[in-house]
Structure formats: C-alpha cells, structure tokens
Amino acid sequence: MKFGTSGLRGLSEDLKGRASALYATAFGRYLLDSRRAQPGDLILVGRDFRDSSPEMAENCVDALAGLGFRTADCGTVPTPALALYGLQERAACLMITGSHIPADRNGIKFYRPDGEIDKDDEAAITAAAAELDRAGFSFTPGAKTAPDRSEECRSLFVQRNGGLLENGALAGLTIGVYQHSTVARDLLVELLEQYGAKVIAFGRSETFIPVDTEAVSEETIAILKNAAKQYGLDAIVSADGDGDRPLVADESGQPLRGDLLGLITANFLDAEVVVTPVTSNSGIESAGNFRVIRTRVGSPFVIAGMQDARTAGSDGVAGFEANGGVLTASDFSVHGQPLRALPTRDCFLPILATLSLAASTKQPLSALVATYRLPVAAADRLENFPIETSARLMAYLRAGPENLAAFLRSIGEVDAISDIDGLRVTLKDRRIIHFRPSGNAPEMRCYVESETEAAAAGLLADGLAGIRQWAAAH
C-alpha cells in the first residue's frame, strides 16, 4: 500500500481484507491523537462502483466503530459530493475508490473534518499503519451497519450545482452522457436536464470500466466518436470512477484537454489566482486575468499552493489539474449566488462552466477550443510499467546532461529543464516533453506540447518509444 498523487492505492484483493481496516484504524487514531476528532464523532463513508468497494467500506466502518466513532453510509456518490457533505457536517470522510485505475486495484481517499488530508497527514497515517502492523494488528469483520445518509449527501451536492447557471442556460443543446461506471452518471443527467439540455445517456455498465480523463484511451475515444455521430450530439460529458475528474468531448466526440476545462472554469469564476501543476499547458499564464502558481502533480500539492495564496492575502483562489479536476479555496459568487469553497477535485463545476460557455457564445465546442490558441498538448502512459524501472529511468535521466542528451538524441536538443515533478524538458525548437512516473500505479507517463496536433502526436509517440527502448535495454 502507498499514497499516490491523491489517496491510498493498492491491489483490490489486499484492500478487501486486513489492509483497508488497518489504514482506516490508522486514520482514526491519527484523528484522535491530533485532536481533530474525538470518540463519538461522525465519520462519513462513500464508495465507487468497483466490485471490491462495498467490502472495503464495510471493513472501514467496522474499524472506525471499534475506535468509538459513529459512522454513516453515503453510498455510491461522487467524491466532491462526499467532501462537501463532510465540510457541512464537520465530519471526517473516507471515499473508497481507485479513481481511474484498473479494477484489480482500489484505494481510499481520506478527509479531515476541515477537508482533504495533506502530505504531512499522509506521512502520519502511514507511520500509524506501520506501527499497528508491527504490533500485530488483527481484524475480524463484524458487518456493522452504518445509518444511510446517501440522500442528504446527494441533495446537498445537487443544490450546490443547481445554482451555478441561470435557468435554461443549456436549452437547445443535445448532450450525451457517457455513463459507463462512474458514480457521477445519474447526477450528470439530472443536472443537465435541469438546465434545459436534451440529454442522451449511453454506455451504462454494471462492470467497472476505468476511464482516465488525462490520457483518454483510443477505445474510449472510439465510443465517444460513435455516439456523437449516432445521436447528433453537441457535446459529450463523463467522468472518472469517483466523479472528481471531468471528461468533455466536442461535437465530433474528440475529448477536450483537462487543463483547458480548468482554464475555462477559472475564467468562469473570474479567479484572481490559479494554482495548477507543472504538467498543465504552458499557455495558461497568458490566457486569463489571473496569477498562476505552478506545483507538483497531485491534489495535495495544489491544495497547499492554494492555501499559501490565501495565507498571503489573495482572494478568488482556484486550482485545477491537467486531468480537469477543479478545486476552490475561496468562496466565489456566480450569477449572484454564493459558491462555497470546495478544496477538492470536482468534475461538475468544469463540465457546467464549459457547456455554459458554449451555449452562451453559440459556438461549437471545437470552435471554442480554437479561440484559446494554446500550444497543442498531448499525454499518454505506458501501463504495467514496473515502478522500479521508472525509478531507474528517472535516475539515469537526472544523472547528467549527457544522459539526457543521449536519450533525446533522435527527438531534439535540450534548451531548459524543470525538475518540479518528473523531468520537463523544453527543446531548442520550443517543443516540450515531460517524463513522469505515476504516483498511483505502475505506469510511466509522458506529456508533450507542440505547435500542431500532428507534431504533438509525433513527439508523444517518440517519447513513449524512447521509454520502451530504454527499458528493454536496461
């Protein structure tokens, strides 16, 4: 088990057993020891649609009850809905989800009563789990029943999103909702219809389908393109497994970049400060009336950057990641309605902001994208790429300029390097290539930017080929 860019991750078979109870107990003890909670306090538990999630949730409920906490079952809800409800109730939360990673893996996202845990919290929980493990932690499932709070959780989130746009803001649009196995699937249909859109739901699955909104698979793109053609859609929306990363595709079924969705949302909110990882598009700095702060990849780093901006006196602080998840550290006013800060990733705000812009400008999404004139960005990953191999590759690339130059010899000459997270290389012809091991899974990621789609696709293919060749030789 290890914490990645957002939450704990591990194999489903391991987490269905002792491991989920171990980490839930470690989290509960951390809350008690840090005086962030006390026995008798409420802890909320939500989950995604993975086969392993119900059993993990039951284990966590049993473990927390054993420490004297009250628990409540929020059911299969989006992570931002659970987080919002936790903030309202001043309750800690556990979201059982592996987000976008394959179904043979799962995870847990932890929230303190005041919001998402940070890296210091992760270290403390990891240390507590190690101490419990050394002491011979044992766990016998008790199948305790937690009261159902799913409707209260859901209703609060619908209320939040139901005030983001004006009545009938999406009238005239035909929007597809690729439902697959995301917990956001029914809420998306409900909200889009509420705003006047004609909604066509498709692709619903009772088997979990991993959808990575940062590196959309060719299989998923084919599904989106077929649906766009079949139903004559103006747009398609979806999300990852736990509904904190948006997927928006244009009228042809071509997905929009997540960082573009974040940029559109920052402008929608009239943000003063935007916090985003180094992997987001390099053109963001000149695409809005806001100051940009760059961080490492992962919501804890974005949240820390937003908190630093707030501490320094900034207002109107928002953040987003390259996967499209939007976070807010400030309260905003949208159409005269208050929007409470929600410093965790959310897929609904960027989806609604983007569709609203398309409707108000009466432009197809493809034309809207073109108006931003950002460098063309692309990203992909090599799955089942051993973590040890990723570590060796990154050590080799960082060992000296001659190693990096040799690795990139067939691609281009190095002009500048950023080592904030992974290795981001600006080439002398101004193209960008970025190598970064995943923080959640055995995957090696590659991000690129270039002037045209063809050039970006070629650079991405060359980068991935270089990784494969190096791994084969070493």
- Select from 447, 444, 448 the least CA-distant residue to 391: 444
Using a 10 angstrom Cβ sphere, with 0-12 exposed, 13-18 middle and 19 or more buried, the burial of residue 200 is middle
Number of Cβ atoms within 10 Å of the Cβ of 442: 17
Backbone angles phi, psi at 107, to 5 degrees: -170, -175
Amino acid 436: pLDDT: 94
Amino acid 143: pLDDT: 66
Residue 106 falls inside a structural domain: yes
* Catalytic position from the list 6, 53, 99, 330: 99
Give the end of a domain, one of 370, 402, 437: 370
12 is catalytic: no
Antiparallel, parallel or unpaired: β 317-320 and 273-277: parallel
CATH code for position 228: 3.40.120.10
- Select from 272, 268, 315 the least CA-distant residue to 292: 272
440 — pLDDT class (breaks 50, 70, 90): low
DSSP of 31-92: HHHTTS--TT-EEEEEE-S-TTHHHHHHHHHHHHHHTT-EEEEEEE--HHHHHHHHHHHT-E
Q: What is the pTM of this model?
A: 0.89
Is the same domain home to 222 and 126? no
Is the same domain home to 350 and 407? no
Q: What is the mean pLDDT of residues 59-70?
A: 94
- Select from 468, 279, 243, 242 the least CA-distant residue to 378: 279
Q: Give the pLDDT confidence of 128-145 residue by residue, as tens digits.
A: 999 999 999 988 887 678
389 — pLDDT class (breaks 50, 70, 90): very high
Residue 314 falls inside a structural domain: yes
Residue with tokens 């249909």: 189
Amino acid in the structure at residue 413: E
Is the same domain home to 15 and 124? yes
Amino acid 464: pLDDT: 96
Is the same domain home to 282 and 197? yes
Is the same domain home to 389 and 366? no
Question: Is the pLDDT assigned to residue 16 strictly greater than 70?
Answer: yes
Is the same domain home to 345 and 421? no
Please give the mean pLDDT across all residues of the chain.
94
Q: Give the pLDDT confidence of 189-224 residue by residue, as tens digits.
A: 999 999 999 999 999 999 999 999 988 899 999 999
CB 44 within 8 A of CB 92: yes
Residues spanned by the domain of 348: 174-370
Amino acid 29: pLDDT: 96
DSSP of 377-436: EEEEEETT--HHHHHHHHHHHHS-HHHHHHHTTTT--EEEEE-SSSEEEEETTS-EEEEE
Q: Give the pLDDT confidence of 290-315 residue by residue, as tens digits.
A: 999 999 988 899 999 999 999 999 99
Give the end of a domain, one of 370, 394, 421: 370
3 — pLDDT class (breaks 50, 70, 90): confident
Give the end of a domain, one of 370, 403, 429: 370
Is the same domain home to 359 and 384? no
Is the same domain home to 260 and 401? no
CATH code for position 382: 3.30.310.50
Number of domains in the chain: 3
Is the same domain home to 354 and 392? no
CB 182 within 8 A of CB 238: yes
Is the same domain home to 194 and 303? yes
Is the same domain home to 354 and 211? yes
SS3 303: helix
Is the same domain home to 65 and 106? yes
Q: Give the pLDDT confidence of 121-130 residue by residue, as tens digits.
A: 999 999 999 9
Separation between Cα atoms, residue 112 and residue 99, nearest integer Å: 19
